Amino acid sequence: MDRFSWTSSSSTCVFPGESGVHQQSGIRIYDGDKKTTFENGSLKLTTHRIVWDDLDQQDRAIAVPLSLVSKVEEQSSGFMSSAKVAVSLHPPPANKEPGPCVSSPYGCVKFSFKQGGHSEFFARLMEQVNKRSWMQQSAQQSSSSTAGKGLNRPRGVGGIVGIERKLEEKSKETDNYIQKAFKDLDALMEKAKEMVAIADKVASKLEEKKGAITEDETVTFKSYLLSMGIANPVTKETHGSGASYHKELAKELGTFLQKIITDEGGMMTLTDVYCRFNRARGMELVSPEDLINAANMFSAVNIPLRLRSFDSGVLVIQVLSHNDEEVIRTTRQMLDEKSSLTAEELAHLAKVSVMLARERLLVTEQAGKACRDDSVEGLRFYPNFLVERTD
């Protein structure tokens, strides 16, 4: 193992004229007959070297030049052992690059092929050893090369130069990935605009065909439309910050809620609005604070909506035409029909959220049209007949 030197795993060929020949995975290295920690790697054969690259640990690769190979033998597999290729090596040169082992009592290494392929690797290795391509390259080198430097020494692989080269290669690879990703994203955004335009047309058709299709079909279509999103969401980058941004955001929010809030009975909790609005905006999310500021701008930009806070602290957005008296009347009517209701039961009947159903019951109670029974079974509301008695 003292013939091996550390090398770069990012580039198999580091010598001028060096090229890859063969590769086999699942290779373990033996120092003589002794197992090493180099257990699972990819064995690469080039015209100049044998390179072992760790598959489990990144940036852990070693190499031995073919110029040190003195003998190659093929060993068949046994009952409890894999087939191996044994490589006898000449002593290392004095100027050898640092490696995983300073000295070794063995002059031979064995490559264990746990996934097969030893015969083909053996044949390719013998072929390259006989070709002696590294000798042809050395004959072409300039006579001014320093005598102390080995002919098969990798140039610029180790040290700071190797690290800088590797970082540069990774940077170029990352840039390529980013450029491809943004090309795909641009194409997707163009398609998204087309889909939103189609969604608007479908929504208009739904309004025209109201009554001609079933309620379940309408719900299905609207769920599809909701997932289409907003084509060009308002952002701080395009509209600045502060009041100007919140005004534009209020306009966008009003347009977005125009149909949705009507279907929800004219009122939606701010948490529901926040979730639906951000879902439609895709990656351009708005903060809760910006949403509240935008809702407070409805009157300034003539949007027929308003932000309302109940006594319980629940924030809702409702249409200006929303009438509490009508809500009280319909809630009292449901109480008369069912004798009593919980918030969950009213939510199911009125098709609103449980939070809004609770607020409806509380408003009805404040108007004297309902009374409560708060017991271990929970909070239940009843029609208030006491204030309606005339005797």
In a domain, 266, yes or no: yes
What pLDDT, on a 0 to 100 scale, did the predictor assign at position 144?
A: 44
Question: Quick count: other Cβ atoms within 10 Å of Cβ 354?
Answer: 15
The confidence score (pLDDT) of residue 151 equals: 47
Does a structural domain hold residue 215? Answer: no
* Cα 109-124-81 angle, rounded to 5 deg: 45
Whether residue 280 is found in the same domain as residue 380: no
Q: Could you tell me if 307 and 331 lie in one domain?
A: no
Among the candidates 295, 319, 343, a domain finishes at 319
Return per-residue pLDDT of the chain as tens, 391 residues. Answer: 888 888 877 666 777 778 888 888 889 999 988 888 888 888 998 888 899 888 888 778 898 999 899 999 988 877 677 889 999 988 888 888 888 888 888 889 999 998 888 888 999 899 988 888 877 766 665 444 544 444 455 444 556 767 777 777 777 777 777 766 666 666 666 666 666 666 666 666 666 666 566 666 666 655 555 555 565 678 887 777 778 889 999 999 998 888 888 888 888 999 999 998 888 887 788 899 999 999 999 989 999 999 999 888 889 999 888 888 888 999 999 999 999 999 999 999 988 889 899 999 999 999 999 999 998 888 999 999 887 665 5
Q: In the prediction, which pLDDT does 176 show?
A: 72
- The reported pLDDT for the residue numbered 193 is 61
Same domain for 362 and 255: no
Q: Encoding tokens for residue 389? A: 């008695």
Q: Helix (H, G, I), strand (E, B), or coil: what is residue 278?
A: helix
Domain assignment of residue 108, yes or no: yes
DSSP structure string for 281-295: HTT----HHHHHHHH
Rounded Cα gap, residues 195 and 32, in angstroms: 67
Asked if residue 288 and residue 339 are part of one domain, the reply reads: no
Identify the CA nearest to 74 among candidates 2, 126, 128, 22: 126
Whether 21 and 113 map to the same domain: the answer is: yes
47 and 118 part of one domain? yes
Among 71, 105, 132, the domain-final residue is 132
Provide the CATH number for the domain around residue 342: 1.10.10.10
For residue 70, what is the enclosing H or E element? strand 69-75
Same domain, 255 and 289: yes
Beta-carbon contacts of residue 282 (< 8 Å; ≥ 6 apart):
192, 229, 230, 233
Q: Which residue, of 270, 285, 319, is where some domain finishes?
A: 319
Domain that holds residue 331: 324-388
Tell me how far apart the alpha carbons of residues 388 and 390 are, in angstroms, rounded to a whole number. Answer: 6
